Amino acid sequence: MNHHALVPLGLVLVTGFLVPWLVVRARWAQQVPRLALAVWAACGAVFTVATALLPAQLVLTSESSHRLTDMVLTLRLPSPERLFALEGRELLAFAIALTVVSLPGVAFLRRLARARRVRLRHAGVLRLVGRYDPDLRATVLDDDRPAVYCLPGRSRRVVVSSGAVHTLTPAQLAAALAHERAHIAGRHHLLVAAAESFSAVFPRLPLARHGGTSVPLLLEMTADDRALRRCTRDALATALYALASGRAPRSAFAAGGPSAALRMRRILTPYSAGHPVLRGLFTITSAALAMTPLIIACCSFPG
């Protein structure tokens, strides 16, 4: 084992265990959901790369581990000549690193393809039984239950049930539609697929477990914030209340759903004193400072 293993080991512990523990308990995460989403995404990327590099740092010499680190960080494959010249341990470490980096990406692409097939099938059904309303710029589906949802991706569209049209006021309906269009504009289905695929690859990891449940909720809150640029807090909150029991098909975003009560309370409750962005940055900085002793120890060794 060479001393350079301290840094990836520290990154694995900080991003995989410490930061998730801090973020799920932080109030600022729900006040500034986009910052929290950035933290989850950054932790996932850093954890994956650090996990890929850790075996190499444990078994290879400093010179060999540096070469492998450069290849992983620059996504550059070795030349055929260099590949055949690798020793057994180097070849094994390279294969492990390549596998660890590739697994989340492969799972992400498979999940995207599966969700796209589901959305295309549902879009085909909507073309048969729904009708497009140019005033709402949405597809209206005959159903007495109030529901508003969207299908993201290439088959993107917003769907409104006839029950929602009859139940919601014009202001409430506009707020619900703005929420769904925020999901489409933000391509939130990509982040959901990334969180789900990461959880599938690392199911027992706190980062994956907490991120898999936090990311969808944070995306709903992000869409709420964007909708509030076009509507009042009362209109959006009462729309969520009316749509709380509504259901949406798989791979779709619903304006209501099980998180409606929590989001209503967030929308109607002003931020407490203090600056949530600063508190979030303080949490991130504190986690980064946990790495300082390992970096100092690593750099204090020659080679």
Would you list the domain boundaries of the chain? Answer: 3-299
Decide: 163 and 145 in contact? Cβ < 8 Å. yes
The helix or strand, by DSSP H or E, that contains position 224, with its residue range, turns out to be helix 206-227
Query: What are the residues whose beta carbons fall under 8 Å from the beta carbon of 13, sequence distance 6 or more?
Result: none
What pLDDT is attached to residue 73? 57
212 and 198 in contact (C-beta within 8 Å)?
A: yes
CA distance 10 to 299: 14
Output the pTM of the full model: 0.85
Which uninterrupted H or E stretch holds 253? Answer: strand 253-254
Beta bridge partners of 140: 131, 160
For 114-159, how does the pLDDT look when each residue is reduced to its tens digit (9 = 90+)?
999 999 999 999 999 999 999 999 999 999 999 999 999 888 999 9
Residue 266 tokens read as: 């967030």
**Which stretches of the chain score pLDDT less than 70?**
1-4, 59-89, 270-303
Q: Is 35 helix (H, G, I), strand (E, B) or coil?
A: helix
